[in-house]
Amino acid sequence: MNYIISLIVGAITSIMIFFNGSLSDGYGNPLSTVLIHLSGLIAILIIMLLTHSRMKLPKGLPLYLYSAGFIGIGTVMLTNIAYLKLGVSLSLALGLLGQTIFSLLTDHFGLLGMKTIKVNPKKLFGLGIIGIGICIMAFQ
């Protein structure tokens, strides 16, 4: 089931990149980023109201975890810039390559407090196939 959920997230991400990039093209990057995050805030507040969720901040969480919102803003703004020049598929493919490389490094070195999972030849082979696929997409 988690594999299916991940596939759905990938499809939704493609749609999100198109919508975000189109907003950025129409309104400019900073204003579109505000509109994107404002609509997200409204959506989550509605969900919280409908599910009777309460916002309770646990104590003791590292302060850096709260930077995810800043990272999200950077991600949206940079993706909007890339989308205008590269389109949805290449922007998404390169973004996923970056995520994969950083994830492999995070696992291999146990960064951010993660459990260490060493990189093996199968993972490097898969990464190479992804790289070849992106080169084929980029240099048609």
The confidence score (pLDDT) of residue 30 equals: 95
Task: Tally Cβ neighbours within 10 Å of residue 72.
Answer: 14
The confidence score (pLDDT) of residue 49 equals: 96
Domains of the chain: which residue ranges? 2-138
Maximum Cα interatomic distance, the chain, rounded to a whole number of Å: 52
Mean pLDDT for 23-30 is 95
Identify which of 80, 92, 85 has the alpha carbon closest to the alpha carbon of residue 22.
80
pLDDT digits (tens, 9 = 90+) for 97-131: 999 999 999 999 999 889 999 999 999 999 999 99
Cα(27)–Cα(124) distance, integer angstroms: 41
Assigned token pair, 123:
């993972």
Q: DSSP character for 52?
A: T
Residue 91: pLDDT over 90: yes
- Give the CA angle between residues 137, 139, 140 to the nearest 5°: 75
- Which pTM does this prediction carry? 0.79
Assigned token pair, 3:
């594999």
Collapsed DSSP state (helix, strand, coil) of residue 67? helix
Helices (H), 55-138: 68-109, 121-138
Assign residue 38 a region: left if phi > 0, alpha if psi is -120 to 50, beta otherwise? alpha
